Structure formats: structure tokens, C-alpha cells
């Protein structure tokens, strides 16, 4: 089923799961400033998720609000890309994930902001500014780690190699969607290629391209993430918080 | 998206205290506008000049001469305050991933982020006294400087997040509002900024408990259980009773502290009783009652032996909190080294360009 509901739900799920992973860094970051930055980015993603899920619930028309969609769906019903549900790994893996995610979200939100659906225009206009900041932050760290010490270069390259295959799913064609993801690929490639080059990193060869998130076919990681995220909400059916 | 859509301000906590913060801010501006008596006449006059500035309720600034013990006391106090903000992120951070609604998750995440920010302001204030943040962080990690005892208690349910906001942040504000008038300028200014945000946090905690205590029976029981566990540790946050407080007298003379531990504790109890009534929750003290003669509540003192055990390292979570902080620091070392190496390379390039 493709349509505005499905499309909005995907974007909302991407942002929600990304927020959940980024928030795991709170109190664990390499420096205090980075604790603040990662929490800040997590908050932006969570804010976008709330707007998108609220709107998705309205499009669906079945009375589900942001919390019903976030807390009362099982993993087979989640539509996020696999990239965002992957574990945080070390700081390099987190920055590789954030670089690829924000290099995808920035042109996506920018396209939404210029689209036809008023609500998505408003959400896109707000979120693209935040994405630009996320992209800037991730790019800076990928350059620092890539062109830092031998150890950080090794870790950053390993992280890029590990995460790269998961970017293919982001650009699966969907001609009927408000924004066809396949049209975002050139801008993504341009930005990422430039950052990797500046970071003295090698752009991985394309090959293995895991996918399935958009159909609710996830990695084994998502179920654990949801178990933790949903436990309290589900333990008190119908309660208000 | 913040939780500020809750009733008129006078019904929720924070109103009166915020007024005091604003008054302290105004007083700070007035003190800055008043002429300070030039500079000390000679090097012999330094101590006299310092005493006069304190006496006149003016602020001591980083460039001013100050007694070595004043400097040391402030470094200790500000650093411990900063450490408390950083360690204090852990008990609440423990519930971010499980917050029961997206709104609550956003509020909690923003709050924990604010605490990291407060830690940074406070380390910056301490640095004006001639010590570096790295040194202070080392003192924390080596266990040579302390943080607030309260953060050695575990957060066992979601209601604990509410109880921490209401009681722990409430106690912190009662403690910190007078510090907005502290004689050391950078600390006073940091406290003004911090108290404003803390009072917002306290209100959010109160709002969490309010929702729970007006929710299902299970939610209400969860709220009461949390208040039962956090009440006495919160009272203990004001430190040992006046007779046993080692730093108090000198700190009061220097106008670092403005009120005694027991005075502040009493103020906190008096404030909480009414708020607990509005919440519909019980304060776990059978001997709590209004004393007409004193115009204050009589209450049971916290267990100070327990406080001493927790301060000396044997509370429920001391080891866990320190191990977590040390692990984050150690696991982040390669990232900090990379950032330093990258910065050094860029600086060297710039130098080359200038030379060429």
C-alpha cells in the first residue's frame, strides 16, 4: 500500500528510530559538548517524528495519534529504513549513520518543503533547517575522525564500510510518492563523496544492498529497540502520562 | 512541545522562587552599576579591599585579589556542583529510552541536555578561579572530589523521574536561589541562569507526578512509592545539621552561603507540604505537623548516618555512577585524540599558508 499515509509513516518512523538510537548516547558521549550535540540532534529527530506521526495518523483516519503509532505497533508494522535501527556501535559508526541519514533527509525535507501538501511543506521547511545542522555536525566529525589519528582513521573507514550498504534502501524508486526517493540520490552522492574525500576515506564499492524496512522486514535489532521503547506504555493500557 | 501547558503559575511550584531569582538578578545589575571604591591603594591594602567589597555586597571578579582559602572553597564548591550536574544526568537518563509518551520523552531528553549545559557553565565558572576543566574532571574520576549524594539513588520506575523533578530539583533550587547572590560574580551569574531552567524542570517533574496521581490506581501507587523513596534523600541534600557542618561559618562570612543547612531544609519542607496536598500525595513522615509557635512545619530529620555512608561511597549506586562516567571518558579517549590531531593539522596548514 503506497500513498500519503504510508509515505508519511516511513519518514516518521525513520526519525523516531533515529531519535531513539541517538538518545542512547546521552551520558556516554566522548565529551560533554558532544553529549549536548547528540541530545540536540535526537530532540530534532524526535520533534520531526512527532509531527510526521501525528499527520500520518490523521491521513489514516483510524484515530491513531503519535503515541498509538509509536508505542502500539509491532516491529512488522514499522516502516523505518534499516540504517536507523542499526546499533550505535562506536562513535565512528554513529557518525557514519548520521552522515548518511542527514545527507538523505536534507534533500528529502527540502523537496517536501517545495511540494504540494501543505502540512508536509510546513514540516519539511522546519526539518530541513535541522537536517542542515545535523549534516554539518556529522561531516565535521567524519573529517576529524578520518583525518585525525591512525586509530580514528581505521575506525572511521570501518564504520563507513559497515554502514554504506544500508544506504541503497533509502533511494528505492517510488514514483507515486510525494517525493520519489530515487530522485534524491544525486545530491546525496555529491555531498557524501565530497565529505569522504576530505576525510581521506575511501568510498565503498556498491554491492550488497540489504533492504526490507519499508515493508516491515527489519533486522533483528528493531525488536529489542521496540521492546525497550514500548515497555512502560504497553504495561498501562489506556493510561495518560 | 515542552510541558508548559499546565495550569496558572501560582498553582504549580517555582513561582515564588523564580521571583527571588529575578530579584537577585536585579540586585546584581544594581551592584554592577554602583561605583566600587577604585582599586586597592597598595598591595598591603588587598585584604582590606576584599573585605570592603564583600561588606558592600559588591561582587568579587576573577581579576580581583582574594584570600587563597576563598578561592579554594569556591573551586571545591563550584566543581562539586558541576560534577553533580554531570553525574545527575545518569539517573534520569536511565528513563529516556522508556519514557511512556513521545511528549514526555522529548521533555526528559531536553532536561538531561540542560543538565549537561549547566555542568559546562559551572566548569567555566570554576575555570575563572585558575583551575582547568580537565583537572576537575580528573579529580571527579579519581574520586577526590564529590558530587551530590542524591544521584547515588536508583530510578526504579517512571514516577522517579517525576519525583526527581519535584523534590530533587526543588531542593536544588531552594539551595541555589541564595547562591544567585553569592559574592563571587561568575558563580552568581551562572546560578541565575541555572535556577531559571531548574525551576522549569521542577515544574515538569511536578506535572509528571500530577498526571500519575490523577491517573489509574497503578499510576497513583507508582507516584506515592517514588515520593516515599525520594523524600528523605532530598532532605539530606541540604547537608548535615548546622552543628556538624564544617564549611558553613566561613562560607557565610564570605557571603558564599547565605543561609544555614537547617534554614534551607526548613524552607524546603514548608514549600513541599502544600504542593503535596495539591498533588494528592502523602509525604512519608507521620510526625510532620504545623507548629503554630514557630510558624513552620515540624518534621523528622533524615538519617544522617545514611547520608555519611552515601557521601563516603557506599550508597546504592555510587560504584555504578562512577564506573559509567569513567567508561564514557575512557571509551571517548580516541575520539578526543582524533579531534586534537585534526585541529593540530589544520593549524599547521594555516601556519604554512601564512609563511608562504
- DSSP sequence for B248-270: HHHHHHTTS--S-HHHHHHHHHH
| Domain-wise residue ranges, chain A | 3-202+212-235
Examine the pLDDT at B322 and tell me if it is beyond 70: yes
Residue A37 · residue A137 · CB < 8 Å: yes
What average pLDDT does range B99-107 have in this prediction?
A: 98
Helix ranges, chain B (H): 15-33, 46-55, 68-87, 89-93, 102-127, 133-141, 158-163, 169-176, 185-213, 217-236, 248-253, 261-279, 304-309, 318-331, 333-355
Q: Is B124 on the interface with A (CB under 8 A)?
A: no
Residue B136 · residue B123 · CB < 8 Å: yes
Kindly report the nearest CA distance between residue A32 and chain B, in angstroms: 7
In chain B, positions 307-336, which contact chain A (CB-CB < 8 Å)? 324, 327-328, 331-336
- Residue B144: burial class (beta carbons within 10 Å; 0-12, 13-18, 19+): exposed
Q: Which of B254, B277, B234, B229 is nearest to B55 (CA)?
A: B254
Q: Is A198 on the interface with B (CB under 8 A)?
A: no
Model ipTM over 0.95: yes
Residue A229 · residue B98 · CB < 8 Å: yes
Q: Is B106 on the interface with A (CB under 8 A)?
A: yes
Out of B98, B106, B345, closest to residue A147 by CB: B345
Closest-CA residue of A relative to B321 is: A27
Cβ burial B61-92 (10 Å sphere, 16+ → b, else e): eeebbbeeebbebbbbbbbbbbbbbbbbbbbb
Q: Which of B285, B283, B159 is nearest to B221 (CA)?
A: B159
A/B interface, count of CB pairs below 8 Å: 140
The three grid cell numbers given for residue A112, joined into one nine-digit string: 517536501
- How many CB atoms sit inside 10 A of residue A16's CB? 26
Helix (H) or strand (E) holding A234: helix A221-235
Which CATH number fits the domain B16-315, given the four candidates 3.30.460.80, 3.90.180.10, 1.10.3720.10, 1.20.1260.10? 1.20.1260.10
pLDDT given for residue A2 in this prediction: 58
Q: Cell 534520569 identifies what position?
A: B92
pLDDT band at B19 (very low <50, low <70, confident <90, very high): confident
Q: What is the pLDDT of residues B275-298, one digit of tens each?
A: 999 999 999 999 999 999 999 999
Residue B291 gets the label, from left (phi > 0), alpha (psi -120 to 50) or beta, of: beta
The three grid cell numbers given for residue B179, joined into one nine-digit string: 547562591
pLDDT given for residue B10 in this prediction: 47
Q: How far is CA B159 from CA A69, B84, B150, B321, in A?
A: 23, 21, 16, 20
Task: Compute the residue count for chain B.
Answer: 356
Residue B259 · residue B175 · CB < 8 Å: no
pLDDT given for residue B40 in this prediction: 73
* Rounded (5°) CA angle B24-B27-B31: 140
Contact A42 B109 (CB under 8 A): yes
Task: Compute the residue count for chain A.
Answer: 241
Examine the pLDDT at A8 and tell me if it is beyond 80: yes
pLDDT band at B29 (very low <50, low <70, confident <90, very high): confident
What average pLDDT does range B322-331 have in this prediction?
A: 98
Q: Is B102 on the interface with A (CB under 8 A)?
A: yes
Contact B109 A43 (CB under 8 A): yes
Topology of the domain comprising A3-202+212-235: Ferritin (1.20.1260)
B-chain residues within 8 Å CB-CB of A55? none
B-chain residues within 8 Å CB-CB of A46? 102, 105-106, 109
pTM: 0.95
What average pLDDT does range A107-136 have in this prediction?
A: 97
Q: Is A89 on the interface with B (CB under 8 A)?
A: no
Q: Which of A104, A98, A239 is nearest to B216 (CA)?
A: A239
| Domain-wise residue ranges, chain B | 16-315
Higher-confidence position of B247 and A101: A101
Closest-CA residue of B relative to A92 is: B335
Amino acid at each position: 500500500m503506497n500513498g500519503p499515509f504510508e509515505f508519511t509513516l516511513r519518514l516518521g518512523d525513520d526519525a523516531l528510530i533515529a531519535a531513539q538510537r541517538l538518545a542512547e548516547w546521552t551520558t556516554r558521549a566522548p565529551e560533554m559538548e558532544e553529549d549536548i550535540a547528540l541530545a540536540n540532534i535526537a530532540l530534532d529527530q524526535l520533534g520531526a517524528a512527532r509531527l510526521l506521526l501525528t499527520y500520518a495518523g490523521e491521513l489514516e483516519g483510524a484515530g491513531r495519534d503519535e503515541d498509538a503509532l509509536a508505542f502500539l505497533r509491532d516491529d512488522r508494522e514499522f516502516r523505518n529504513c534499516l540504517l536507523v535501527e542499526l546499533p550505535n556501535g562506536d562513535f565512528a559508526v554513529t557518525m557514519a549513520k548520521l552522515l548518511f541519514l542527514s545527507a538523505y533527509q536534507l534533500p528529502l525535507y527540502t523537496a517536501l518543503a517545495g511540494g504540494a501538501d501543505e502540512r508536509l511543506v510546513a514540516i519539511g521547511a522546519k526539518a530541513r533547517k535541522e537536517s542542515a545542522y545535523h549534516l554539518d555536525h556529522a561531516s565535521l566529525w567524519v573529517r576529524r575522525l578520518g583525518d585525525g589519528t591512525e586509530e580514528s582513521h581505521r575506525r572511521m573507514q570501518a564504520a563507513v564500510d559497515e554502514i554504506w550498504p544500508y544506504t541503497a534502501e533509502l533511494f528505492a524508486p517510488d514514483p507515486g510518492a510525494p517525493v520519489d526517493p530515487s530522485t534524491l540520490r544525486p545530491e546525496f552522492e555529491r555531498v557524501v563523496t565530497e565529505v569522504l574525500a576530505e576525510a581521506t576515506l575511501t568510498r565503498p564499492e556498491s554491492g550488497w544492498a540489504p533492504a526490507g524496512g519499508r515493508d516491515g522486514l527489519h533486522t533483528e535489532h528493531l525488536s529489542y529497540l521496540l521492546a525497550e521503547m514500548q515497555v512502560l506504555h504497553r504495561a498501562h493500557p489506556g493510561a495518560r502520562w | 512541545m515542552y510541558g508548559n501547558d499546565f495550569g496558572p503559575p501560582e498553582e504549580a511550584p517555582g513561582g515564588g522562587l523564580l521571583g527571588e531569582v529575578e530579584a537577585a538578578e536585579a540586585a546584581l545589575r544594581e551592584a554592577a552599576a554602583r561605583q566600587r571604591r577604585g582599586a586597592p591603594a597598595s598591595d598591603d591594602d588587598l585584604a582590606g579591599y576584599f573585605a570592603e567589597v564583600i561588606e558592600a555586597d559588591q561582587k568579587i571578579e576573577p581579576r580581583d585579589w582574594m584570600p587563597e582559602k576563598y578561592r579554594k572553597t569556591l573551586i571545591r564548591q563550584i566543581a562539586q556542583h558541576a560534577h553533580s550536574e554531570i553525574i545527575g544526568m545518569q539517573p534520569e537518563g536511565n528513563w529516556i529510552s522508556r519514557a511512556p509518551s513521545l511528549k514526555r520523552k522529548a521533555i526528559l531528553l531536553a532536561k538531561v541536555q540542560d543538565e549537561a549545559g549547566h555542568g559546562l557553565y559551572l566548569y567555566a565558572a570554576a575555570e575563572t578561579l585558575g583551575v582547568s576543566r580537565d583537572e576537575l574532571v580528573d579529580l571527579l574520576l579519581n574520586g577526590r572530589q564529590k558530587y551530590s549524594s542524591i544521584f547515588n539513588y536508583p530510578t526504579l520506575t517512571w514516577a522517579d523521574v517525576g519525583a526527581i523533578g519535584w523534590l530533587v530539583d526543588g531542593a536544588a533550587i531552594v539551595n541555589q536561589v541564595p547562591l544567585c547572590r553569592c559574592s563571587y560574580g561568575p558563580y552568581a551569574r551562572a546560578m541565575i541562569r541555572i535556577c531559571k531552567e531548574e525551576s522549569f524542570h521542577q515544574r515538569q517533574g511536578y506535572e509528571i507526578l500530577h498526571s500519575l496521581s490523577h491517573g489509574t490506581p497503578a499510576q497513583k501507587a507508582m507516584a506515592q512509592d517514588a515520593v516515599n523513596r525520594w523524600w528523605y534523600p532530598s532532605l539530606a541534600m541540604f547537608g548535615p545539621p548546622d552543628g556538624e557542618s564544617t564549611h558553613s561559618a566561613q562560607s557565610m562570612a564570605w557571603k558564599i552561603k547565605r543561609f544555614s543547612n537547617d534554614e534551607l531544609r526548613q524552607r524546603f519542607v514548608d514549600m513541599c507540604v502544600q504542593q503535596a496536598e495539591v498533588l494528592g500525595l502523602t509525604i512519608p513522615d507521620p510526625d510532620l505537623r504545623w507548629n503554630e509557635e514557630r510558624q513552620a512545619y515540624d518534621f523528622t530529620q533524615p538519617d544522617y548516618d545514611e547520608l555519611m555512608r552515601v557521601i563516603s561511597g557506599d550508597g546504592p549506586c555510587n560504584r555504578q555512577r562512577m564506573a559509567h562516567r569513567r567508561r564514557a571518558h575512557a571509551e571517548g579517549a580516541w575520539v578526543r585524540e582524533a579531534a586534537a590531531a585534526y585541529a593540530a593539522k589544520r593549524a599547521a596548514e594555516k601556519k604554512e599558508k601564512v609563511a608562504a
